Amino acid sequence: MSSFFVNKLDKFINFTQLKNMKTADYIAFVIDRLPKGYVFTYADFITEVSQKEAVIKALNRMVASGKIAKLSKGKYYKPENTPFGNLQPNQAQVVKDLLEENGKTTGYLTGYSIYNQMGFTTQVSNMIQIGKNQVRPNFKRERYTISFVKQKNTITKENIPLLQLLDVIRYIKKIPDANINTSCKRVLAIIKNLSDKEINTLVRLALKYPPATRALLGALLEQLQQKKAAEPLFKSLNPITKYKLAGAAKAITTTEKWNIV
């Protein structure tokens, strides 16, 4: 079993129990202890090249019996059974191989799933959007279309919530079943609960975002009496550029200063 997989699963499994087990028994033992919806591949179970065929056969037998389900080629998960059928894994599980590499965070969920999770819309989507420093073409994975948004900041586990919030501000016009007025009010409510340190980090990260994002964030911060925190954003903008965000003025009284129309 790969060391990365072991590190991920050691909270579920006592690995000293796996010694001397047959391949099929060993796989069943591990899977029995995985949480519902956990996604894995055959490679996670292989310690020797010669075992590959045996592992794949064992996993395919478990798919046929309904104990596990296939997400896509080479990817399996432990389904959660309901009266309405098997639940799909959550989106973070579906794309976790695109969010981490060798234990290091390299991407984060953004876009439609985050709009829903953060309370901006009730709509759900079959599109999974991922923020990464290096993007790649869109592709399909089971019922999902995976797309990418370029993130210029270094991505860490600690700053992901702030990057997600900045992405909301950046794409505020594109949030489904929402308008700029209500979305601005929701952003204000979220920022209001941030610490001074988080607000300063938010501003620092925003400096690598497009001017319209910086302008709207600055206006939102001033609305919350965070004028000093907003100063770097104001200084970063072209004073004659205007930003079209119809409806923002209904939620923010500082739009004129920030050239938001």
Condensed to tens digits (0 to 9), the pLDDT of residues 155-181 reads: 999 999 999 999 999 999 999 999 999
Which is more confident, 205 or 82? 205
Whether residue 165 is contained in a domain is answered as no
59 and 100 share a domain? Answer: no
Q: What is the pTM of this model?
A: 0.77
Whether residue 162 is contained in a domain is answered as no
Query: Averaged over 125-130, what is the pLDDT?
Result: 92
Whether residue 164 is contained in a domain is answered as no
183 and 256 share a domain? Answer: yes
Question: What CATH number has the domain bearing residue 60?
Answer: 1.10.10
Within 8 A by CB and 6+ apart from 68, the residues are 31, 59, 62, 76, 77, 78, 79
236 and 260 share a domain? Answer: yes
> pLDDT (tens digit, 9 = 90+) per residue, 48-59?
555 788 888 889
Averaged confidence pLDDT in the chain = 88
> pLDDT (tens digit, 9 = 90+) per residue, 198-232?
999 999 999 999 999 999 999 999 999 999 999 99
Residue 227: domain span: 179-261
Which is more confident, 88 or 35? 35
Specify the pLDDT at position 81. Answer: 75
Domain-terminating residue out of 155, 170, 204: 155
CA distance 130 to 121: 18
Whether residue 174 is contained in a domain is answered as no
255 and 185 share a domain? Answer: yes
**With contact defined as beta carbons under 8 Å apart, do 230 and 252 qualify?**
no
CA distance 117 to 19: 42
Of the pLDDT bands very low, low, confident and very high (cuts 50, 70, 90), residue 145 is very high
Query: At 146, is the secondary structure helix, strand, or coil?
Result: strand
Domains held by the chain: number: 3
Query: Averaged over 123-129, what is the pLDDT?
Result: 88
- The helix/strand count (H/E) of the chain reads as 11, 11
Whether residue 188 is contained in a domain is answered as yes
